Amino acid sequence: MSSLIGILGGMGPLATVDFVTKIINQTPATQDQDHLPLLVHSVPQIPDRTACLLEDKESPLEALLQGLNTLINGGAGCIAIPCNTAHYWYEPLARESSVPILHIARVCADMLAREQVRSVGLLATDGTLKAGFYGRELAEYGIELTTPPADLQRRVMEGIYLVKSGAVEQGARMLDDCMAAMLQLGVERVILGCTEIPFALDTLGSAHAHLGVDATKALAAACVQWHQQQKLAVAA
C-alpha cells in the first residue's frame, strides 16, 4: 500500500493549513525527506456541512466523494478529513473508499482513554452535535460527554463563523470564553471539536489551552503513526 496520505480538506482552508502544520510539527524529522508525503485536496466550495444537517441544504456527500476519488486516484494510501462535521458522512465515504479513512473522533477518544480522562465537554458546530458521533465514540471507552447548553452553543457557533469569515481574533476571544464556560460545568477537559477552534485559540494564546483537547492534533498524530507503521511493514 502507498504511504502517501491524502487530505480531504478545504472545510475551511485555514483549518486545512493548520492540520498540515500539525502533521509537520509532530513528525520526527531531521531532514526534508523524513517528512510525510501528503496530497492535499483543499476545495472550499464543498457545500456547508452544518447547513445541510440543520437546514436541509445541499448535501456535501457528492463533493466529498469526488475529493476522495481524486486523492485515491492520485495514489493516496490513507485519507484524513480535517473537518469534524464532515464525519457525519464517514460511513458512506468509507464504503466507497479502497483505502482506510482515519476517524477524527475515534482517534480523539482513544487518546483520551489512554490519558485516563473520564469526563469531557465538547465545543463543536451544531451539525457535529446533531450527528452525535463524538458521543458514540467516547461511550466505547466509558467517557462521559457534556455538550453546551443552548445559549452557550449559540456563542460557539458565532465564534466559529467569525473565524471562518477572517475575524480570527474576535472569534478566538469568544471561543475562549465558551471554553471557560464549559470548564465551569465540571468536566475534566474540553474537546475542541471544530477544526477552526484550536487554530483560533492558538493565535490567542489561551490560558485554558492546557485543558483543551485538540482533535485536529490528534488526527495529525494518527497520520504520523499510520505512516510509521507503513514504513515498518515495508521494512519487514
DSSP string, 154-184: HHHHHHHHHHHTT-HHHHHHHHHHHHHHHHT
Among 78, 83, 108, 223, the active-site one is: 83
Cell numbers at residue 207, please? 490560558
Cell numbers at residue 196, please? 477552526
Query: What residues pair up with 212 in beta bridges, in sequence order?
Result: 190
Residues 166 and 14 sit within 8 Å (Cβ to Cβ): no
pLDDT in tens, the chain (236 residues): 789 999 999 999 999 999 999 999 999 999 999 999 999 999 999 999 999 999 999 999 999 999 999 999 999 999 999 999 999 999 999 999 999 999 999 999 999 999 999 999 999 999 999 999 999 999 999 999 999 999 999 999 999 999 999 999 999 999 999 999 999 999 999 999 999 999 999 988 888 888 999 999 999 999 999 999 998 887 76
- The CATH fold assigned to 5-103+217-235 is Rossmann fold (3.40.50)
Alpha helices in the chain (DSSP H): 13-26, 49-55, 61-73, 90-96, 104-114, 126-131, 133-139, 150-164, 168-183, 196-204, 215-235
Domain coordinates of the chain in residue numbers? 5-103+217-235, 105-215
* CATH placement of domain 105-215: 3.40.50.1860
Catalytic: 83? yes
Q: 97-130 pLDDT, tens per residue?
A: 999 999 999 999 999 999 999 999 999 999 999 9
Catalytic: 78? no
Among 78, 178, 194, 223, the active-site one is: 194
Same fold, 5-103+217-235 and 105-215: yes
